[in-house]
């Protein structure tokens, strides 16, 4: 099992509009560019990673060196991303002067600490209210230990997202309206953002800071329950999966009255207990478990099925594709078969309707699930938010896999992909296109290598997978075999009689 990445220190700013409505304050949120690998397309608060220079400038009214560094980081990121300068003395600068300072910083002509010193700008801890410290879940390719600060936007300064490709846009919006957009599935946001929006939407009361800090997750405890869309909870579970992933996503799809559990994959008792506790919370709130559903038969997606069934009293049915059921018959009792086009409707208002799509390629019995009205596609291991998908014959088939990707690409109205590993993907069609183009590019290079004399999978890997660590060459060989089988079926290469070499 691969090791989890260590979170990097970061800071984020919840920027309040001057003279805001105390009952429903306006905040400035930004949408990250859909092109970004990490949380592309998500809505967030401005912020970013701590830099060494952030700790070199003193902060007034702050004796804690760590907190001072994070305040400096928050102020710098706010200035770099939105052009808002939150420093004493900044009120004496014109908009043009602030733009000139920002250009000095971005061009590298002046460091952040040098800029503050040169222009006699002072950071004051009294201007930054600490309201939480959230740690990115371990399933993510990039992890942060992020300090959140509540800040009043300085008078006469208007936040303007920089045109540097990182942010798509930003806007002032009331906390309630921002949360309502998420509830309508019009925006994607991670738990600390949603917590801030719901808390601020209750008003700027004297106990606001206490309310923002009331969750254990706001005090550094790892986030386990992530609701990417209303009714779609992602619960990452530690599993013996393939690197770089360390976790497999279990999805708890729910309405107010019913619950569907998809891929409870962990064989580890502590993870099984954590999942059972979350399921029990949903059940105790009035929901009935409809079924446990499997996207496919790989161990990191089914390892906790029987444990969870036992914890739920043994009465829950397990549903899977016929091919998955056959492959699992020695280890898991599958009670019902899901076929291509079958619909699972969870009753309540609003109803959630999942249509099964048989998408072989990664596994013969692989299923994806499409919620058409919300544009949600549960992709299992066909498309993932972390790492790449291994096509390993004989269970894996490259021709089937490409056909499945093209079928998913033809679905209309997709807004988000929820994969078996890693975070949600807010750029569905771009992501699917990347997968298709990547496979076709590999195929082209493999065919070229064969025509240039490479005859075995190992020889082809050394030519085509020069961008891959030698430690991964074993898996790369399996992928090459899958490509060669497709090329052979397409009539573009031939296998020598009785041999493993191609020409």
Q: Provide the whole-model pTM.
A: 0.92
CA distances from 254 to 58, 217, 233, 291, 304 (A): 49, 22, 8, 11, 20
What value does the mean pLDDT take over residues 327-334? Answer: 96
| CB proximity list for 170: less than 8 A, separation 6 or greater | 28, 29, 30, 31, 46, 82, 159, 160, 161
Structure tokens at 430: 């771009």
Banded pLDDT at 493 (limits 50, 70, 90): confident
Using CA atoms, how far apart are residues 292 and 318, in angstroms rounded to an integer?
5
For domain 8-218, the CATH superfamily is Nucleoside Triphosphate Pyrophosphohydrolase (3.90.79.10)
**Average of per-residue pLDDT values in the chain:** 93
pLDDT at residue 496, rounded to an integer: 64
CATH class of the domain defined by 226-426: alpha beta
Instruction: Put residue 220 in one of left, alpha, beta given phi > 0 → left and psi -120 to 50 → alpha.
Output: left
Res 502 pLDDT > 60: no
450-462 exposure pattern, b = at least 16 Cβ within 10 A, e = fewer: beeebbbbebbbe
Q: Which whole number is the average pLDDT over 368-389?
A: 95
34: confidence class by pLDDT, cuts 50, 70, 90: confident
| Per-residue pLDDT at 497 exceeds 70 | no
The arrangement of strands across the sheet holding 343-346 comes to 343-346, 352-358, 367-371, 376-380, 416-419
Please say whether the beta carbons of 480 and 460 come within 8 A: yes
Q: What is the pLDDT of residue 2?
A: 39
Q: What is the DSSP letter of 91?
A: G
CA dihedral 229, 233, 238, 239 (to 10 degrees): -90
Q: Tell me: pLDDT of 249 over 80.
A: yes
Using a 10 angstrom Cβ sphere, with 0-12 exposed, 13-18 middle and 19 or more buried, the burial of residue 408 is buried
Q: How much is the average pLDDT of 326-343?
A: 97
Residue among 145, 187, 151, 162 nearest 39 (CA): 187
Q: Strands 247-254, 258-262: parallel, antiparallel or unpaired by DSSP?
A: antiparallel
Spans of all domains in the chain: 8-218, 226-426, 430-503
Q: Under CATH, which number does the domain 430-503 receive?
A: 1.10.10.10
Helix residue spans in 163-293 (DSSP H): 175-183, 191-200, 208-212, 269-284
DSSP classification of residue 122: B
CB 403 within 8 A of CB 361: yes
> Integer distance in angstroms from the first to the last C-alpha of the chain?
37
Six-digit token pair at 84? 């808002």
Mean pLDDT of 238-254: 93
The better pLDDT of the pair 474, 355 is held by: 355
Q: Is the pLDDT of residue 178 over 50?
A: yes
**How confident is the model over 45-61, as a mean pLDDT?**
95
What average pLDDT does this structure show over 127-137?
96
Please enumerate in sequence order all residues whose Cβ is within 8 A of that of 362, keeping only pairs 6 or more positions apart, or say none. Answer: 296, 380, 381, 382, 389, 390, 391, 396, 401
CA 227, CA 218: separation in Å to the nearest integer? 16
- Containing 39, the helix (H) or strand (E) segment is none
Whether the pLDDT of residue 1 is over 50: the answer is no
pLDDT of 476 strictly over 50? yes
How far is C-alpha 28 from the geometric centre of its chain's CA atoms?
22
Name residue, tokens 């992602």. 234
- Confidence bin at 431 (pLDDT 50/70/90): very high
Do 226-426 and 8-218 fall under one CATH topology?
Answer: no
- Distance from C-alpha of 388 to C-alpha of 399, rounded to nearest angstrom: 17
**pLDDT tens per residue, range 10-30:** 999 999 999 899 999 999 999
Distances (CA, A) of 417 to 105, 228, 483: 37, 10, 25
CA–CA separation, 103 and 81 (whole Å): 12
pLDDT given for residue 140 in this prediction = 76
* Distance in angstroms (rounded) separating the CA atoms of residues 466 and 481: 17
Average pLDDT over residues 197-224: 96
The counts of H helices and E strands in the chain are 14, 21
């Amino acid at each position: 099992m691969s090791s989890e990445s260590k979170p990097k220190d970061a800071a984020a700013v919840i920027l309040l509009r001057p003279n805001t409505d105390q009952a429903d304050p306006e905040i400035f949120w930004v949408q990250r560019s859909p092109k970004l690998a990490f949380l592309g397309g998500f809505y967030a608060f401005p912020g970013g990673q701590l830099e060494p220079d952030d700790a070199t400038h003193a902060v007034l009214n702050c004796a804690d060196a760590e907190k001072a560094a994070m305040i400096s980081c928050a102020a710098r990121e706010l200035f770099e991303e939105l052009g808002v300068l939150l420093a004493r003395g900044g009120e004496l600068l014109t908009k043009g002067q602030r733009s000139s300072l920002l250009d000095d910083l971005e061009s590298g002509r002046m460091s952040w600490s040098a800029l503050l010193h040169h222009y006699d700008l002072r950071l004051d801890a009294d201007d930054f209210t600490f309201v939480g410290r959230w740690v990115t879940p371990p399933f993510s390719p990039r992890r942060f230990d992020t300090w959140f600060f509540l800040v009043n936007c300085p008078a006469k300064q208007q936040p303007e997202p920089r045109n540097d490709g990182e942010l798509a846009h930003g806007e002032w919006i009331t906390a309630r309206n921002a949360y309502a957009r998420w509830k309508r599935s019009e925006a994607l946001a991670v738990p600390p953002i949603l917590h801030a929006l719901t808390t601020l939407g209750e008003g700027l009361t004297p106990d606001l800071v206490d309310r923002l800090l009331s969750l254990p997750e706001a005090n550094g405890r790892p986030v386990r329950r992530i609701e990417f869309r209303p009714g779609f909870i992602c619960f990452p579970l530690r599993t013996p999966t393939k690197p770089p992933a360390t976790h497999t996503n279990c999805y708890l799809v729910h309405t107010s009255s019913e619950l569907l559990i998809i891929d409870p994959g962990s064989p580890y008792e502590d993870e099984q207990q954590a999942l059972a506790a979350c399921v029990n919370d949903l059940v105790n709130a009035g929901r009935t478990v409809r079924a446990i559903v499997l996207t496919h038969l790989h161990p990191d997606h089914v390892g906790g099925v029987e444990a969870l069934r036992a914890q739920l009293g043994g009465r829950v049915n397990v549903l899977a594709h016929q091919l998955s059921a056959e492959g699992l018959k020695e280890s898991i009792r599958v009670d019902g078969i899901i076929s291509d086009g079958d619909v699972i409707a969870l009753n309540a208002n609003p109803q959630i309707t999942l249509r099964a799509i048989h998408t072989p390629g990664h596994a013969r019995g692989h299923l994806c699930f499409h919620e058409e009205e919300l544009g949600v596609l549960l992709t299992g291991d066909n498309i993932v938010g972390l790492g790449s998908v291994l096509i390993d014959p004989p269970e894996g088939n490259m021709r089937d896999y490409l056909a499945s990707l093209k079928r998913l690409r033809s679905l209309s109205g997709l807004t988000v992909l929820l994969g078996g590993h890693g975070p949600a993907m807010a750029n569905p069609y771009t992501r699917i296109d990347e997968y298709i183009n990547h496979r076709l590019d590999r195929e082209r290079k493999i065919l070229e290598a064969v025509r240039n004399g490479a005859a075995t999978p190992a020889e082809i890997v050394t030519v085509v997978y020069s961008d891959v660590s030698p430690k991964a060459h074993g898996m790369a060989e399996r992928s090459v075999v899958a490509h060669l089988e497709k090329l052979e079926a397409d009539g573009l290469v031939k296998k020598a009689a009785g041999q493993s070499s191609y020409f």
